[in-house]
Amino acid sequence: MHRASCLGILAAAAVVVLAGCDRAQEERAADAASQAVRQTNKALNKAEDVAREGLREAGQVARKAGDIAQEGAQEAGRVLSDGTLTAKVKTALLADEGVPGSSIDVDSRAGVVTLSGQLASRAQVDRAVGIARNIEGVERVENRLSAQAG
């Protein structure tokens, strides 16, 4: 019986050792899982910080895009106004029989109308400048017209 008792004791010791191994493995697995959870939380916090920063930057970009769009709309309105003013002045010059409107170049920028070209007389130059000054929206006339000598 001595041999059977020894085998029983060895079997019991093996169970204890195996149980101990399982417990150690379980503890290691629990520690690894706990560490993985901590790392995951850390990564999630970092991702949240990055997302917040991205949203802040996106907001800044959106505001800048809005500013640019508004500036573009203002510029488009100004260009349209300049074009309208140029057309008004040119139409008035073409309609007046006292000046050769087709000989006068007209350009407008921010209410300043520039007249250029060559006319037959000083009287025509003065008349053209007077017509341009009387158009609504004209703030100033740049006179680059010249009169032929003679």
Instruction: Give residue-wise pLDDT tens across range 85-131.
Output: 999 999 999 999 999 999 999 999 989 999 999 999 999 999 999 99
Q: Report the C-alpha gap between 94 and 23 in whole angstroms.
A: 103
Phi first, then psi: give them for residue 97, nearest 5 degrees: -80, -10
Mean pLDDT of 132-144: 94
pLDDT for 62 beyond 60: yes
How does residue 39 score in pLDDT terms, banded at 50, 70 and 90?
A: confident
Give the pLDDT confidence score for residue 33 in this predicted structure. 66
Rounded CA separation 139/133 (Å): 8
Mean pLDDT of the chain: 80
Q: Would the pLDDT of 18 be above 70?
A: no
CB atoms within 10 A of CB 133: 14
pLDDT of residue 7: 47
Q: Is the pLDDT confidence value at 76 over 90?
A: no
Per-residue confidence (pLDDT) for residue 45, from 0 to 100 = 82
Q: Is 1 helix (H, G, I), strand (E, B) or coil?
A: coil
Token readout for 64 is 């800048």
